[in-house]
């Protein structure tokens, strides 16, 4: 718990002292959605321990929350803020549910959430790419 | 009088006319049975290279750069060095009378 | 026969001890962010390391001095003091990164956060130093480190496109993210050309009582051992390029890195990663703290040997005890281990001239080495790589800090 | 023989090959008209720090008075004790009697021996 809190603090600190460009933020968001997806896929194949997977999903969730916060504060120009917000919120919710499903050892539901997350990942990628190409 | 050898290193030397000669970099000594006698002081930039035993590294670089400048290295016999003030050692002779060490 | 054994053991040690927190973190980040593009940095760093390790072994075998002995004797106390401070600071940060690596490996296995492991981990490292002998540290831990070969297996199983990988061995100019590219390149160079390896290796040659007959053995060990080690690093980079890049994952944490082999080796990938990092970082933590203690002891002329009881070389034992305990403090404060690792590797690059330039002087010294002194090839390879890493470091570290 | 290259900063070992520090300083006697001679080798104390800066030497002296074996003065070995000058410098002394190992012994007794498994410094 403390480790994560401190990591969060350091991430906050890092983001506080140097505001990254929106394009970097978008890449970072995609990176963490990808991380959650990869960790989830590994867990579905029974290759990673429960605790590690849950913690990694929680870490993705928290970092994504931080990134979306920053993104909404200073949204990239030419961006559909509402669409951006909706895809980020949706993936975040899925990741949080996945973390909870691990605790409940509910593999079938977990797999379904993971599939939806994959779809969201693709959508997010497309919309982010179009934002970046417009800039 | 007692002086510290290690603090003497790098001290600037002036000749009898006050002209700048270089820095003391090395002491050449003769080991006797009882005592260790200081024979000469090596002064100048090349004396530092001598002390670092770095000629094998410096010479090719010098040749590569094509510098023909002869770096100074004077061998000052002990009689010619006035160490009564260790912070400002002076030569008892003029710079032009100094011998270049090989 | 004895020589064959010695060579085998030496290579095993070199391979098992090659990877550490820094090389894995930098290679994984490079692969994830730039694909194969940064393979050249590993190649260049490894090439330089081969020369440096060969040189330090030869220096010890011929002169019966360690590098630090020579540095103090030739350049005097004032210069030695400057190098001592610089190297100690950098090695200390590296040690913090290695201890964090051990802690994080245990964290992903147990789920208990790494700050909780700071004290147990540093005590364990200290205990191995306190009780262990040099050969236990050198051979025992390195044999365990052989598990890192799994990175190559993982890379091969992901079916890399060898042609484009070969392209990566030649430096390319980055399209975008130039600052990041430069910073990772510098960190890779720092992680490959780790000076602590030189200090550790040449002290080992003294502890093992090498003489001139060891020069050919030394050459084989340095050449083959470091080459295999470099291939391990490349394995990490290639695996990261294939596992992370398609998912758009930019590796920023250890938790992400842990997923490196979950696709290539589904059954064991995760646990192999944890075990690899555990042993690799343990070995590196021991080597780094020994290197710091050697630096002090040799520079000041104290008694030193990892084979003696601590009270027989009290100041030596005291130095590593203090250093290891101090290194636990930043971990307790919960530093970001990944950032510390990247920074420590970049700083290593920046301080390379401080460690290597005096060493080059020593390697050309006819008094120490006689006819065994360096040829122009060794001199130029090392000088050029050091110059490249220094220039890159001076440009890219400020850019990274400002936030390029 | 070149004093700085061949003697200064070299490692010192005693009669029994026990390391006893490095040549941190050399004392030279300079007469009015007589040839200067090297009289002593200095080990430890403020001598090495003086080579960096006098202020650092003062700080080192103050710290040494607060902590440790309370030995402020550097160890002085007369030049006549020098046996051989080679890879190391061999002295015709017993390291423990000179005071050069005061810190080593102090740390062994006060710190290392109190930690389990540290062993004992006196054992031969």
Question: pLDDT for D50-61, tens place per residue?
Answer: 999 999 999 999
Residues in chain B with CB shorter than 8 Å from the CB of C376 are 60
Cβ-Cβ pairs closer than 8 A, B with D, add up to 90
Reported as a pLDDT band with limits 50, 70 and 90, residue B69 is low
Q: Quick one: pLDDT at residue A51?
A: 94
Using the predicted structure, report yes or no on whether residue C111 has a pLDDT greater than 70.
Answer: yes
For residue A12, the model assigns a pLDDT of 46
Q: What is the mean pLDDT of chain A?
A: 82
All residues of chain D having their beta carbon less than 8 Å from the beta carbon of residue B53 are 5
Q: Nearest CA of chain B to the CA of C78: how many Å? A: 10
Is residue A48's pLDDT more than 50? yes
Higher pLDDT, C244 or A132: C244
Given a cut of 50, whether residue A1 has pLDDT beyond it is: no
DSSP reduced 3-state for B38: strand
CA distance D120 to chain B (A): 37
Side by side, the strands of the sheet bearing D89-91 are: D19-22, D11-13, D89-91, D82-85
Confidence band, pLDDT 50/70/90 cuts, at residue A134 = low
ipTM for the assembly: 0.88
Check pLDDT > 90 for residue C306.
no
For residues C43 and C125, give the distance between their C-alpha atoms in angstroms, rounded to a whole number: 31
- Which of B29, B42, B75 to probe the D interface (max D CBs under 10 A)? B29
In a domain, D121, yes or no: no
Q: Is D124 exposed, middle or buried (0-12, 13-18, 19+ CB in 10 A)?
A: exposed
Is residue D85 within 8 angstroms of chain B, CB to CB?
yes
Residue (of C110, C272, C278) closest to A49 by Cα position: C110
User: For residue A9, what pLDDT is reported?
Assistant: 46
pLDDT exceeds 90 at position C134? no
| pLDDT surpassing 60 at residue C72 | yes
Report which of A111, A120, A109, A93 is spatially closest to residue A34, judged by C-alpha positions: A120
The closest of D110, A46, B43 to C271, measured between CA atoms, is A46
CB C89 within 8 A of CB C295: no
- Determine the length of chain C: 404
How far is D108 from B28, CA to CA, in rounded Å? 40
A-chain CB neighbours of C118 within 8 Å are: none
pLDDT at position C404 over 50: no
Residue ranges per domain, chain C? 2-402
What tens digit of pLDDT does each residue of C361-388 get?
Answer: 999 999 999 999 999 999 999 999 899 9
Superfamily for domain range C2-402: Amino acid/polyamine transporter I (1.20.1740.10)
Top-level class of domain B5-100:
mainly beta
Q: Do D28 and B8 touch (CB under 8 A)?
A: yes
Looking at chain C, the whole-number percentage of residues with pLDDT higher than 90 is 75
Query: Is D124 inside a domain boundary?
Result: no
Q: At what angle do helices C314-332 and C269-300 cross, to 10 degrees?
A: 140
* Token representation of residue C142: 């390195």
**Closest by Cβ to B57, choosing from C76, C364, C367:** C364
Q: What pTM does this model have?
A: 0.92
pLDDT at position B100 is 77
On the question of pLDDT at A4 being above 70, the answer is: no
D123 in a structural domain? no
CA distance C333 to C118: 10
* C366 → closest Cβ in B9, B56, B60: B56
In our burial notation (b when 16+ CB lie closer than 10 A, e otherwise), range C242-278 reads bbbbebbbbbbbbbbbbbbbbbbbeeebbbbbbbbbb
Query: Percent of chain B scored above 70 by pLDDT?
Result: 93
pLDDT at D123 over 60: no
pLDDT at B62: 79
Chosen for mutation from D108, D109, D114, D124 (greatest number of chain C CBs closer than 10 Å) is D108
Give the domain ranges of chain B.
5-100
pLDDT at C9: 82
Q: Are A and D neighbours with ≥3 CB pairs closer than 8 A? A: no
Q: How many distinct structural domains can be found in chain D?
A: 1
pLDDT bucket at B96, cuts 50 / 70 / 90: confident
Taking alpha carbons only, the member of C316, C260, C256 closest to residue C289 is: C316
Inter-chain CB proximity B1 and D31 less than 8 Å: yes
Q: What subunits make at least 3 CB pairs under 8 angstroms with C? A: A, B, D
Specify the DSSP element, H or E, that contains D40. strand D37-43
What is the CATH classification number for the domain harbouring D38? 2.30.30.240
Name all domains of chain A by residue range, CATH numbers in brackets. Answer: 23-134 (1.20.120)
Contact yes or no for C266 and A55 at CB 8 A: no
Quickly state the pLDDT bin for C328 (edges 50, 70, 90): very high
| Structural domain boundaries enclosing D12 | 3-114
């Amino acid at each position: 718990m403390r480790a994560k809190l401190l990591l969060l603090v350091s991430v906050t600190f890092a983001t506080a002292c140097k505001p990254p460009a929106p394009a970097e933020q978008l890449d970072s968001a995609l990176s963490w959605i990808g991380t959650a997806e990869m960790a989830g896929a590994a867990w579905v194949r029974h290759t990673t321990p429960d605790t590690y997977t849950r913690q990694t999903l929680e870490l993705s969730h928290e970092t994504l929350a931080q990134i979306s916060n920053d993104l909404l504060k200073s949204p990239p120009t030419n961006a559909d803020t509402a669409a951006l917000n909706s895809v980020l919120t949706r993936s975040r919710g899925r990741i949080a549910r996945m973390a909870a499903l691990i605790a409940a050892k509910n593999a079938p539901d977990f797999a379904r959430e993971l599939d939806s997350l994959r779809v969201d990942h693709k959508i997010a990628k497309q919309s982010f790419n179009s934002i970046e190409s417009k800039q | 009088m007692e002086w510290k050898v290690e603090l003497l290193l790098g001290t600037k030397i002036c000749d009898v006319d006050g002209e700048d000669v270089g820095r003391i970099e090395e002491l050449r000594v003769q080991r006797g049975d009882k005592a260790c006698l200081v024979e000469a002081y090596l002064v100048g930039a090349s004396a530092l290279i001598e002390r670092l035993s770095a000629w094998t590294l410096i010479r090719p670089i010098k040749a590569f750069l094509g510098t023909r400048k002869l770096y100074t290295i004077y061998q000052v016999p002990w009689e010619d060095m006035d160490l009564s003030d260790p912070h400002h050692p002076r030569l008892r002779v003029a710079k032009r009378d100094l011998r270049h060490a090989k | 026969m004895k020589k064959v054994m010695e060579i085998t053991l030496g290579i095993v040690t070199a391979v098992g001890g090659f990877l550490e927190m820094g090389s894995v973190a930098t290679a994984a980040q490079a692969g994830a962010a730039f694909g194969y593009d940064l393979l050249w940095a590993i190649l260049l760093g490894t090439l330089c390391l081969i020369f440096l390790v060969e040189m330090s072994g030869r220096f010890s075998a011929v002169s019966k001095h360690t590098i630090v002995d020579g540095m103090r004797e030739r350049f005097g106390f004032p210069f030695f003091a400057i190098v001592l401070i610089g190297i100690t600071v950098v090695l200390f940060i590296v040690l913090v990164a290695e201890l964090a690596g051990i802690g994080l490996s245990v964290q992903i296995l147990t789920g208990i956060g790494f700050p909780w492991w700071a004290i147990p981990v540093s005590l364990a490292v200290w205990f191995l130093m306190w009780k262990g002998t040099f050969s236990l540290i050198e051979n025992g831990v390195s044999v365990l480190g052989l598990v890192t070969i799994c990175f190559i297996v993982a890379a091969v199983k992901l079916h890399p496109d060898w042609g484009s990988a070969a392209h990566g061995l030649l430096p390319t100019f980055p399209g975008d993210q130039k600052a990041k590219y430069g910073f990772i390149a510098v960190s890779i160079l720092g992680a490959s050309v780790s000076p602590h390896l030189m200090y550790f290796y040449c002290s080992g040659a003294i502890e093992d009582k090498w003489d001139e007959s060891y020069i050919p053995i030394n050459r084989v060990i340095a050449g083959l051992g470091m080459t295999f080690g470099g291939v391990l690093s490349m394995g990490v980079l290639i695996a990261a390029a294939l596992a992370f890049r398609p998912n758009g994952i930019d590796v920023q944490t250890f938790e992400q890195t842990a997923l490196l082999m979950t696709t290539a080796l589904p059954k064991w990938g995760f646990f192999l990663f944890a075990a690899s990092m555990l042993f690799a970082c343990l070995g590196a933590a021991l080597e780094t703290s020994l290197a710091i203690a050697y630096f002090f002891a040799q520079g000041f002329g104290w008694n030193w040997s990892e084979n003696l009881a601590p009270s027989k070389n009290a100041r030596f034992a005291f130095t590593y005890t203090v250093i290891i305990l101090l290194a636990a403090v930043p971990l307790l404060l919960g530093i970001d281990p990944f950032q510390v690792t990247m920074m420590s590797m970049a700083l290593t690059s920046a301080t390379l001239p401080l460690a290597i330039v005096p060493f080059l002087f020593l390697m050309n010294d006819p008094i120490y080495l006689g006819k065994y002194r360096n040829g122009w090839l060794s001199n130029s390879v090392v000088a050029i790589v050091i110059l490249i890493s220094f220039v890159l470091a001076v440009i890219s570290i400020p850019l990274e800090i400002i936030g390029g | 023989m070149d004093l700085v290259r061949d003697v200064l900063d070299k490692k010192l070992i005693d009669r029994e090959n026990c390391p006893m520090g490095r040549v941190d300083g050399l004392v030279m006697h300079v007469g009015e008209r007589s040839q200067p001679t090297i009289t002593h080798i200095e080990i430890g104390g403020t001598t090495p720090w003086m080579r960096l800066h006098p202020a650092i030497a003062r700080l080192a002296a103050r710290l040494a008075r607060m902590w440790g074996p309370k030995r402020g003065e550097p160890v002085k070995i007369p030049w006549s004790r020098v046996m051989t000058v080679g890879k190391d410098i061999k002295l015709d002394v017993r390291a423990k009697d000179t005071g050069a190992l005061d810190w080593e012994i102090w740390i062994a007794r006060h710190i290392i021996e109190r930690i389990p498994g540290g062993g004992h410094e006196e054992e031969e």
